[in-house]
Amino acid sequence: MAAVVRSSDGSDPVTETAIRVLKAAAVSVLKCPMALTTMLYKAKKSVVSMSIKTYLDTPPTEEELRAVEAQANAIIGEDAPLHTVRMSKADAEARYGMRIYENFQMPLPASVEELRLAYLPGRALDYVPDGTPMLPSTGLLGGLAITGLKFKNKKKGPEFSFKLTITAEQDAAARSAATLGEASTCEPPAAAEIEAIDNEPPSGEGTLKAKAVAEAVTAEVEAAPAAAAASAASSEPPSGAGASAGDSAEAAAEGKQVINPWAVEAGEGGIDYDKLVRDFGCSVITEDIVTRIENVTKRRAHRFLRRGIFFTHRDLDLLLDRYCSGEPFYLYTGRGPSSEALHLGHLIPFEFTRYLQQAFNVPLVVQMTDDEKFLWKDLTLEDAYRLGKANAKDIIACGFDQRKTFIFSDLDYHSHMYRNVLRIRKAVTYSQAKGAFGFDGASNIGKVAFPATQAAPSFPSTFTIPFGGRTDMLCLIPQAIDQDPYFRVTRDVAPRLGFEKPALIHSKFFPALQGFSTKMSASASNTAIMVSDTPEDIESKVGKYAMSGGGRTLKEHQENGANLEVDVPYQWLRFFMEDDEELARIATEYGAGRMLTSEVKDILIAELKRVVRDHQAAKALVTDETVEAYMRCRALEFDAPPAKPASASS
Ligand code: TRP
């Protein structure tokens, strides 16, 4: 049996189809609710491990599992058609309710207006993201053998796994038959048919949470279909910063945006940054400040500053004043290592931080919050730790000066931070944390305490060894705007602890290929260009998925031009193209309809290939030893003017 190499995220028509057949079988045999039965898979060479997570109280018996297997094989034996049904999101939700979504698919970005549903008559109707390959009928699967029947009782309910072994021949046949489901192949099924497939959530004790999820989903469908279940069912905290779960549901119902460290949801027209500035109360980076930075650093401002991509701040002007009068500062930024693969959006703050480090010639600390991801995600501590080290390679590849840069894992470095962490924990009450982060009675206490760990690096005394005992350094924190709640709390406690408030500089979000209403997600690799993508991946993703603001017909385009505000190819060029004049030319020509989307996409593809190639080349030079060198707790080498006798915190 020849091994089959699968695409990097494991998505291929055989797996995608098999997992749906398996879910349909599980729903019918085990009587679990559709929306609460989640499909997971991991593909390794020729073996695909699939697991189904249910919210059932009791684990299925061996017999029941065999029945699931038999049912799945029966569906395959029938060679049942697997139809594509396309319909508007509003119609689909009105007709079928939220049962078409697996809980972790929600909320969908507001930009998704039309849904692609996979329909197995009488058995299943599931939302499928565009771009997912699927077989037109189940017979092509051949068979589904339960080889590694395994069963885990996870916090979200029992999870059982199956294995599917695929031969090269089977795979090739499947690939040539696969469809991307671009057009409907049958009429939408009746609501009653789908309702009949579904099951009520179980009522036992261990499933109270499942019920809560189900209720939240239903309640929110009624209130706000577009943003339903924003906080209901993901592995993210159930409620967001600055708002309780109820508040964010309400906010979403009114079409308001919800932005916090765990959820980014835009209203209808994308993210309203002016409103964000008003709500958050931060200051806009004016042209004056940009000019001032240019004067102080004696170099051109980074394109992210010139183009308003880093757009707001807190006390940056004050930091510049004090820097000019001889006070030293350091940079602090971080990453939550939740995935192996980084996308280009993840690199934005690091690219900007690299510029700041070079322009100001200052030390930098980078926090890898492996602890945070352990507390919030379904990750083991060791996996989170390992991902932190893996991500450090990509961060180092951005070009930080090793002598001046300390990257640390919270797991390793927390003992050094503990004194400041405790001081901060003592200064923040539970009510304050709840107000800022939306914790509730169901939040584990690790989460409640975590903000102090992200706050502590804002104070120089957290880095006694790296800063050689200097506690008079100011701190500047480049970050995406969603991290601001952490640092509002930090700035609030600082004076009470006798510390300086850190200065902040915020970026806007890097839009997903599909458009503006959400951040990109590393788990949906079709929404993003991964730093590991090949030139072919880049061509095909930009070609297929980049949302265009161009006219729908050539005539319309020539008459009205492109809407640059929503055009992803143009907006991405603002992030990556260095040449201001060329960018301005594209804006004029494309905006006037004299340039076509395809031409702009080609230019973008060339830029992205360059960025990704350069990144991969830089990363190839980063060895495990390099990572160790950056992560070793040591005195950094940096020039700072001698400490003043009366330092600020005396
Ligand atoms: N919480 C951030 C994340 O999930 C990681 C982080 C830690 C961070 N410290 C930071 C980000 C400071 C910006 C600035 O990605």
Cα of 243 from ligand 1 centre, angstroms: 20
Across the range 406-429, mean pLDDT stands at 98
Name the more confident of 197 and 36: 197
Q: Do 533 and 507 belong to one domain?
A: no
Q: Is 159 found in the same domain as 18? A: yes
C-alpha distances in Å from residue 467, one per residue of 405, 417, 575: 11, 13, 33
User: What's the CATH number where 67 sits?
Assistant: 3.30.980.10
The edge-to-edge listing of strands for the beta sheet with 83-88 is 83-88, 114-120, 124-127
Which protein residue has the closest C-alpha to ligand 1 atom 11? 334
- 157 and 230: one domain? yes
Q: What pLDDT score was predicted for residue 250?
A: 41
Q: Is the pLDDT of residue 203 over 70?
A: no
The sign of the torsion formed by the CA atoms of 639, 645, 646, 650 equals positive
Distant-in-sequence, close-in-space partners of 233: CB < 8 Å, separation ≥ 6 = 35, 103, 104, 106, 213, 216, 217
Residue 228 has pLDDT above 60, yes or no: no
Q: Given ligand 1 and candidates 335, 373, 450, which is best to mutate, with the most ligand atoms within 8 Å of its CB?
A: 335
Give residue 451's pLDDT. 97
Whether residues 451 and 545 fall in one domain: no
Is the Cβ atom of 336 under 6 angstroms away from ligand 1? yes
Same domain, 292 and 227: no
Q: Considering the chain, what percentage of its residues have pLDDT values greater than 70?
A: 77
CA distances to 407, 466, 476, 629 from 403, rounded to whole Å, are 11, 10, 19, 9
pLDDT confidence of residue 599: 95
**Cα 158 versus chain centre, distance:** 26
pLDDT in tens, 537-580: 999 999 888 889 998 888 999 999 999 998 999 999 999 999 99
| pLDDT interval class at 109 (50, 70, 90) | low
The answer to whether the CB of 409 is under 6 A from ligand 1 is no
**Which tokens belong to 410?**
């919270």
DSSP state of 607: H
Higher per-residue pLDDT: 15 or 542: 542
d(CA 315, ligand 1 centre) in Å? 19
Task: Please state the atom number of ligand 1 nearest to the C-alpha of residue 373.
Answer: 4
Residue 70 banded pLDDT, cuts 50, 70, 90: confident
Split at pLDDT 50, 70, 90, the class of 299 is: very high
Extract the tokens encoding 280. 């958050």
**Position 61 confidence tier, pLDDT thresholds 50, 70, 90:** confident
Choose the residue to mutate in 377, 479, 507, 521 for probing ligand 1, maximizing ligand atoms within 8 Å of C-beta. 479
Say whether the peptide bond before residue 502 is cis (omega within 30 degrees of 0). no
CA-CA distance, 302 to 575, in Å (whole number)? Answer: 11
Instruction: Determine what percent of the chain is predicted with pLDDT higher than 90.
Output: 51
* pLDDT of residue 518 exceeding 60: no
Higher pLDDT, 76 or 174: 76
**More reliable by pLDDT, 564 or 648:** 564
Close Cβ partners of 351 (under 8 Å, ≥ 6 residues apart) = 304, 398
β-bridge pairing 329-335 and 364-368: parallel
Sign of the four-CA dihedral 202, 203, 209, 215: positive
Is 586 within the bounds of a domain?
A: yes
**Is pLDDT of 108 > 70?**
no
Last residue of a domain, one of 469, 486, 512: 512
Q: Which residue has the higher pLDDT, 357 or 88?
A: 357
604 or 9, higher pLDDT: 604
CATH of the domain at 615: 1.10.240.10
Evaluate whether residue 641 is within a structural domain.
no
Determine, yes or no, domain membership for 425.
yes
Q: Are residues 223 and 297 both part of a single domain?
A: no
Bigger pLDDT: 23 vs 246: 23
> Based on the domain organization, do 222 and 118 belong to the same domain?
yes
Q: Cα torsion for 241, 242, 244, 247, to the nearest 10°?
A: -120
Q: Give whole-number Cα distances, 649 to 468, 494, 502, 549, 617, in Å.
A: 17, 10, 13, 52, 44
pLDDT of 130: 76
490 in contact with ligand 1, CB cutoff 6 A: no
CATH of the domain at 455: 3.40.50.620
pLDDT at 238 (0 to 100): 28
pLDDT at position 6 is: 43
Decide if 523 is inside a domain.
no
Residues 463 and 581 reside in one and the same domain: no
Question: pLDDT tens digits, residue range 235-282?
Answer: 233 233 333 333 443 444 445 666 666 666 665 566 777 777 777 788
Let me know whether 31 and 150 are in one domain: yes
Q: Ligand 1 centre and the CA of 367: distance in Å?
A: 7
Distance 587 CA to ligand 1 centre (A): 33
DSSP 482-519: GGHHHHHHHHHHGGGGT-PPPEEEEEPPPEETTEEEEE
Residue that is written with structure tokens 């107000």 in the block = 435
Could you read off the pLDDT of 309-321 as tens digits, one per residue? 999 999 999 999 9
Residue 409 lies in a domain: yes
Quote the pLDDT of residue 516.
Answer: 66
Of 234, 265, 290, the position where a domain reaches its end is 234
What is the Å distance from ligand 1's center to 225 Cα? Answer: 31
Is the distance from the beta carbon of residue 485 to the nearest atom of ligand 1 less than 6 Å? no
Nearest protein CA to atom 6 of ligand 1, as residue = 334
Q: Do 184 and 301 share a structural domain?
A: no
Identify the pLDDT of residue 201: 66
Note the pLDDT of residue 43.
Answer: 60
Grade residue 41 by pLDDT with cuts at 50, 70 and 90.
low
Per-residue tokens: 281: 């109360």
Ligand 1 neighbourhood includes 438 CB (under 6 angstroms):
no
The pLDDT value recorded for residue 214 is 44
> What average pLDDT score do residues 430-441 get?
90
For 362-393, what is each residue's pLDDT tens digit? 999 999 999 999 999 999 999 999 999 999 99
Ligand 1 centre and the CA of 612: distance in Å?
Answer: 23
Query: Which of 172, 204, 234 delimits the end of a domain?
Result: 234
Q: How far apart are CA 170 and CA 358, in angstroms?
A: 54
Whether pLDDT at 44 is above 80: no
In this structure, the strands spanning 405-409 and 364-368 are: parallel
Q: Within a domain: residue 163?
A: yes
Question: In this predicted structure, what is the pLDDT of residue 178?
Answer: 85
Mean pLDDT on 426-439:
92
| Least confident interval from 279-283, 293-297, 506-510, 608-612 | 279-283
pLDDT value of position 464: 97
Q: How many domains does the chain have?
A: 3
| Residue 239 forms part of a structural domain | no
Mean pLDDT across the stretch 483-488?
A: 93
| pLDDT tens-digit map of 592-644 | 999 999 999 999 999 999 999 999 999 999 999 999 999 999 999 998 877 76
> Between vectors from CA 417 to CA 414 and to CA 422, what angle results, nearest 5°?
105
Between residues 557 and 9, which one has the greater pLDDT?
557
Query: Does residue 334 line the site of ligand 1, with CB under 6 A?
Result: yes
Residue 154: the pLDDT is 55
Eight-class DSSP state of 403? G
What is the pLDDT of the chain when averaged over all its residues?
82
Q: Is the CB of 333 under 6 A from ligand 1?
A: yes
Region 63-76: mean pLDDT is 85
pLDDT in tens, 142-171: 766 655 555 666 555 566 676 666 677 777
Return the higher-pLDDT residue of 15 and 114.
Answer: 114
The per-residue pLDDT for 610 is 97
Q: Is the CB of 550 under 6 A from ligand 1?
A: no
Domain span holding position 614: 529-627
**What would the mean pLDDT of 81-96 be, rounded to a whole number?**
90
Q: Which residue's CA is the closest to the ligand 1 atom numbered 10?
A: 334
Q: Is the CB of 519 under 6 A from ligand 1?
A: no
Q: Are 426 and 356 part of one and the same domain?
A: yes
Pair 487, 537 in one domain: no
pLDDT value of residue 110: 62
Is residue 111 situated within a structural domain?
Answer: yes
